[in-house]
Homo-oligomer: A and B are copies of this chain.
Amino acid sequence: MIYELTATDSRSSARAGIITTDHGTIETPIFMPVGTVGSVKAVTQQQLKTEIKAEIILGNTYHLYLRPGTDIIEQAGGLHRFNGWDKPILTDSGGYQVFSLSNNRKLKEEGAMFQSHIDGSKHLFTPENVIDIQRSIGADIIMAFDECPPYPSEYDYAKKSMELTHRWLARCVKRMDETEPKYGHRQFLFPIVQGSTYKDLRKTSAEFIASMECEGNAIGGLSVGEPEEMMYEMAALCCEYLPTDKPRYLMGVGTPWNILENIALGIDMFDCVMPTRNGRNGMLFTSNGVINIKNKKWANDFSPVDEGIDCPTSNFYTKAYLRHLFVAGEVLGLQIASVHNLAFYLHLVKQARAHILQGDFAAWKEQMIPQLKQRL
């Protein structure tokens, strides 16, 4: 077992735990910065470690397979060696990207045919080759190949899609069993619960996923446009059927308040492009609320970006300077906003963990959420 449950909140389902991988331990709940093509956008590996204090980052199978390609990654000795990040890495399976980014995709029982969004070249992803690619990348946690249905989806479509995802999962598990890690460290497969926004499908899927007895489990297909309340309802339902002695990963979520609410439901792991993508557009998440740094009101605000967190970048640069960088189109603006937002997300999950251990998570969460949502 890679997961150790350390504490459970008495007034919610929030949990504190530790995941152990061959690249180190991860204290949960955790947020994982997204490094799609092997680089967290506009952030250095040193900043990830020393300022953001990330414990695990994401890579993306779809992107890394297309560029630089598995041959280069294998020659490097895996993604950890290639990008210099020696802590844990999780790779998304590419299923989501095949449907959101590529062209002319065609879904078959065998897998998904698609054309690269870069050069139009044709490719086939199958449960088997997606495992093989993730073996080549060398991620510590690798995701099963799934279909992520859009929101809203018809019941019949959602059901068929879920069943396909389940059949693909069985093939992923088989391929995992038949193959070995390439770089001497262990790799763990996480399957993904689907079922759109249908309770019975989510229950069926969560039960099936749980029955596969993998080392951790993920919930996919949420935060794809459904109302927030529906996301919470589905996440809560999935948590009910997913085992408590294994980590639960809610994919692609979300805002700071989404994260706190889902922690309360029993989620342990999160990833989202929001802190970096919104950061590059000038949206900052801070201890005091949400800031649009391009707004004129910050032009002569010489207070630090955020004094409430322990991040040199957030403490050093002022709002006025950061606004100036955005208005002038300077790259340094993107860098500061990205580092700050990620540091804030990591700060938030670490605070959540401390309050779970302290026993006052639920009260703290209720007090934090209005503060986090406030528009400054």
The residues of A with any CB-CB pair to B shorter than 8 Å are 37-46, 63, 67-68, 72, 75-76, 81-84, 299-300, 302, 312-313, 316-318, 320-321, 324-325, 327-328, 330-336
Contact = CB atoms under 8 A, between A and B. Distances in A.
A321 B83 contact: yes
A324 B67 contact: yes
Contacts of A41: 330-332
A353 to B, nearest CB: 28
B43 A332 contact: yes
9 contacts: A39-B332, A41-B330, A44-B332, A44-B336, A67-B328, A75-B300, A76-B318, A82-B320, A83-B321
Contacts of A37: 324-325, 328, 330
A137 to B, nearest CB: 13
Contacts of A40: 332
A72 B299 contact: yes
Interface of A is mostly: helix
B324 A72 contact: yes
Q: Which of A68, A300, A336 gathers most chain B CB within 10 Å?
A: A68
Contacts of A331: 41-42, 331, 334-335
Contacts of A332: 39-44
Given A39-B333, A68-B320, A82-B320, 5 more contacts: A38-B321, A43-B332, A76-B321, A82-B321, A331-B335
Nearest to A43: B332
A335 B335 CA distance: 9
A39 B300 contact: no
B316 A45 contact: yes
A254 to B, nearest CB: 23
Nearest to A300: B75
A59 to B, nearest CB: 12
Contacts of A327: 67-68
Nearest to A63: B328
